[in-house]
Amino acid sequence: MISTTRQLCTFYLDNHLFGVDAHSVQEVIRYQEMTRVPLTPPSVSGLINLRGQIVTAIDLRKRLGLTERPEDKLPMNVVVRGDEGAVSLLVDQIGDVIEVDADRFELPPDTLRGPARSFVQGAYKLESHLLLLLNTEHVVQVTDE
């Protein structure tokens, strides 16, 4: 039996471990000053200037219906490439790039509720954590929430 693996870029949100396909990640950077944009959905924190490229920053805590980030904690940026260009996902803390076995993938747990349910493709059981795999194509499509 041939086991296929996949590389995931991991990060933390509200003490939960999430991952996105490493091939969709353009870069990971520290907090960047943002320009707020009026009349945008609540999960859009603003725009950042990434070496001359204007990138929308989406607060994943708000997008997934998690609690607000403490005011004394600045988010990190996971910049992913989407169909319409780069988008920054604001996360609490960056994890590692890990390799997971495809045969350890499971559908989202029934206990997953709220907005996060539609954005999580599934989960990987790791030794010390449950890693939730995000569907980046879906999570970056922000509508009027």
Whether the model pTM is above 0.95:
no
- Sheet harboring 53-59: ordered strands across? 25-29, 76-82, 85-91, 53-59, 44-50
pLDDT category at 131 given cuts 50, 70, 90 is very high
pLDDT category at 127 given cuts 50, 70, 90 is confident
Average of per-residue pLDDT values in the chain? 90
HSE-up of 135 (CA within 13 Å, CB side)?
Answer: 14
CB of 69 closer than 8 Å to CB of 11: no
**Is it the case that residue 56 has pLDDT exceeding 70?**
yes
Q: Which of 44, 41, 64 is nearest to 54 (CA)?
A: 44
CB of 44 closer than 8 Å to CB of 56: yes
pLDDT in tens, 18-49: 999 999 999 999 999 999 999 999 999 999 99
Distance, CA of 21 to CA of 82 (rounded, Å): 12
Per-domain residue ranges of the chain: 5-139
108-124 average pLDDT score:
83
């990971």: which residue's tokens? 28
What's the CATH number for 5-139?
2.40.50.180
C-alpha distances out from residue 65 to 14, 61, 62, Å: 11, 6, 5
HSE-up of 37 (CA within 13 Å, CB side)?
Answer: 14
**Is it the case that residue 109 has pLDDT exceeding 80?**
no
